Every structure is written in C-alpha cells, then in structure tokens.
C-alpha cells in the first residue's frame, strides 16, 4: 500500500483498516515452486497443516517473523502498546495494554538473516521460501526443542495473525504466503511492516477487534520466542561450531529442495550471539523477561 495511505492509517475508520490487513506485494504473481508443490500435493504435511487450520479460533497468538532485531523491537511494541481504549476501541489510552491477554510469539530468524544477501545474490526465491516456511511454522501447533532431538517437541499456540516484520521479507515473501492461505480458503491475516511498528500494532488491534478475535484472557501480554537454526545433519563445511551458516552456503541454497536446511526451536539463548542477547535485554526488556519466565512453561 502506498506510503501516503499508510501515513493516515491512524485516522481511518476501524472497518476500513481491518479490510486492508494484507498490505504487501499483491497476490496473483507467479508462485515459487515450493508453494506450487504444496498446492499440487494434497497428501503433503504442509497442505494438511493449512487446510486443517481453524481460522475462527480466538485462542491463537500474534506471530512476528523477521530478523532478531526486528522481532525484538516489534514484540516490545506489542507488549507495551496503550493506544486504544480496550472497551470501546477508541484511539485513547486507558492504562491497560492494548494486547492484554494475548500471546506475542516471535520467530527469530537468526539462521537465515540478514536478508540483503539473497537480493545481492539474485536468490530472492529462497527468501520467499523462508517467508512461507516460517509462516507455516507460525500456524503449527508444535515445535522442536532442539536441533539435535528430532522427536522431542512441545505444544505451541497457532498464529491467528502473522506479521512479516522485515521490509525485505514482506516485499518478496508476502505474495506467496498470502496466495497459499487464500488458495486453501483460509482467512489468516498477514500484516507487513512498511513504515513504523506502531502502524503494525494499529492494524493488528483493529483486525482482532473486527474479527472479534481477542482472547479476553485476564493477564498482561506475554511473549514467547522461537529461534531458527541450521539443521544438525549438515556438513561441517557449511555450518560452524556455533550453528551458523557460512555466507556462501546461506545465500546460495536451492529452492524447493527435499532436504530442509533449517529448523525452528523453542527459545534458547545458546543459539543467539551474546550481542543479540544484549540487544534483547536493552531494547526489549519486557519481552526478554517474558521469554525467560515462559521458557520452561510451553
């Protein structure tokens, strides 16, 4: 959506905002092979995951997908936002967090980011595939706890709204994510962050209000983190001892491969650098506190 329109988004009536929840690259462009293969194979796990999704479930979460820094910043905005009156929806803070009772999850894409390399290497199809795979994870109901224990998993909330927090991921990945969901008749709002985090917060609040999809649970917003890591069976030549891809391999991966190169696990500080943990504590203290509190309660 054009910047001029987004600049006045805060003043548009709620019904109009909610109707414009998918503000990214328009659907209808050519699909990447990964999405084509999902839609063509009704027996695939990915097809079943989307087709069985219940888009009327209010108990889902708000999912943020992007680089670590983008996830931290936007999660904190959701945790602390008080723009609206929670009773009548007016744009007037009422002393209660706008997303009280909600769970904000972040898919912290430590393994695959930063995303500029896919553009420079002209491999944006793989960036699109990352967006699709991580959106599929967002609507899944379970998560692995370690890159090494393939059979060990814990339950997780399914996303009722997905936010692509990275402008690059939004630019290249939105269309395929949106097309996959809509092709299977699922109303899963996908928000893209173009200008400010507050814009995404406003859009999300109005979407949940329009759909009557707030959980109405009585607690402060809580945050949970999930981290992307390279799969454990990759050769040592492409992954270092800290489980980070080397750049040549990271940005040169082939799309729609039978071999998965990354997985997503529950939040574990071990798989984030000390610098990122320091940033998390500095720019997102409420988010970090919630991650630690909820780390063993998922």
Taking every pair of C-alpha atoms in the chain, what is the biggest distance, in angstroms? 57
What per-residue confidence (pLDDT) applies to 151?
A: 82
275 CB-contact burial (10 Å; exposed 0-12 / middle 13-18 / buried 19+): exposed
pLDDT digits (tens, 9 = 90+) for 102-145: 999 999 999 999 999 999 999 999 999 999 999 999 999 999 99
Higher per-residue pLDDT: 66 or 26: 66
pLDDT digits (tens, 9 = 90+) for 159-207: 999 999 999 999 999 999 999 999 999 999 999 987 567 889 999 999 9
Between the alpha carbon of residue 192 and those of residues 21, 28, 43, 232, the distances in Å are 9, 17, 30, 31
What per-residue confidence (pLDDT) applies to 243?
A: 80
pTM above 0.95, yes or no: no
Domains and CATH numbers, the chain: 25-51+60-294 (3.40.50.1860)
Taking a C-beta distance cutoff of 8 angstroms, is the pair 135, 24 a contact? no
Q: What is d(CA 152, CA 266) in angstroms, rounded to the nearest whole number?
A: 11
Q: Residues of the chain with pLDDT > 90: what percent? A: 74
Residue 95, sorted as left (phi over 0), alpha (psi -120 to 50) or beta, turns out to be: left
Average pLDDT of the chain?
A: 88
What per-residue confidence (pLDDT) applies to 56?
A: 86
- Overall size of the chain counted in residues: 298
* Cα dihedral value 34, 36, 38, 43, nearest 10: -140
Residue 1 has pLDDT above 80, yes or no: no
Taking a C-beta distance cutoff of 8 angstroms, is the pair 172, 122 a contact? no
pLDDT band at 261 (very low <50, low <70, confident <90, very high): very high
* Cα dihedral value 273, 278, 282, 284, nearest 10: 30
What per-residue confidence (pLDDT) applies to 174?
A: 97
pLDDT band at 6 (very low <50, low <70, confident <90, very high): very low
The closest alpha carbon to 138, from 86, 77, 66, 70, belongs to 66
């Amino acid at each position: 959506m054009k910047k001029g329109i987004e600049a006045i988004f805060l003043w548009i009536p709620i019904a109009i905002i909610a109707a414009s929840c998918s503000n990214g690259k328009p659907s209808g462009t050519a699909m990447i092979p990964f999405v084509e293969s999902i839609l063509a194979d009704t027996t695939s796990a990915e097809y079943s995951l989307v087709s069985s999704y219940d888009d009327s479930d209010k108990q889902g979460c708000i999912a943020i997908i992007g680089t670590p820094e983008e996830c931290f910043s936007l999660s904190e905005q959701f945790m602390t936002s008080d723009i609206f009156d929670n009773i009548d929806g007016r744009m007037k803070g009422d002393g209660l967090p706008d997303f009280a009772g909600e769970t904000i999850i972040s898919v912290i894409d430590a393994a695959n980011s930063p995303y500029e390399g896919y553009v420079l290497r002209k491999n944006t199809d793989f960036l699109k595939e990352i967006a699709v795979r991580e959106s599929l994870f967002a609507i899944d109901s379970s998560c692995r706890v370690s890159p090494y224990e393939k059979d060990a998993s814990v339950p997780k909330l399914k996303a009722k709204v997905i936010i692509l927090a990275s402008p690059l991921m939004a630019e290249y990945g939105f269309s395929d994510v949106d097309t996959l969901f809509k092709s299977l008749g699922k109303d899963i709002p996908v928000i893209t962050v173009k200008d400010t985090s507050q814009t995404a917060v406003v859009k999300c609040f109005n979407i949940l209000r329009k759909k009557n999809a707030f959980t109405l649970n009585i607690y402060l917003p809580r945050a949970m983190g999930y981290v992307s890591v390279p799969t454990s069976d990759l050769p040592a030549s492409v992954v270092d001892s800290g489980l980070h891809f080397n750049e040549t391999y990271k940005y040169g991966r082939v799309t729609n491969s039978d071999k998965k190169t990354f997985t997503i696990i529950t939040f574990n500080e071990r798989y984030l650098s000390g610098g990122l943990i320091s940033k998390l504590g500095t720019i997102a203290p409420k988010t970090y506190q919630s991650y630690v509190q909820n780390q063993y309660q998922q």
